Amino acid sequence: NKTGYSLRAHLQRFEQLVGSEAPGFEVELEITRYSHRAGTVLWTRVYRQQQDAAEGDMHSVARAMQSGLESIFHSIATDIQSVSTGP
């Protein structure tokens, strides 16, 4: 397909935070947007989110993970929409 766009995602960091600091979750995702028509990279951005868990148990960390990922996906969607609609 020589029209349209595609995204490439590279997961750079995905980990549960443990230790002396508050328990939580951290994720870092690099997204590259390509234009098939032009055959070029339109942009590359790194999205990072650290989310504290209410407690150190598995369920709290899972909720922190979900919240962090939702935040990143929202940011990606906003960036895609802003590029698509232009200034």
pLDDT of residue 20: 63
Taking only the tens of pLDDT, the chain with its 87 residues reads 567 889 999 999 999 888 767 788 999 999 999 988 888 999 999 999 999 998 888 899 899 999 999 999 999 999 988 866 544
**Segment holding 80, helix H or strand E:** helix 58-85
pLDDT of residue 17: 87
Which single residue is written with the structure tokens 């990279």?
41
pTM of the model: 0.79
pLDDT of residue 87: 46
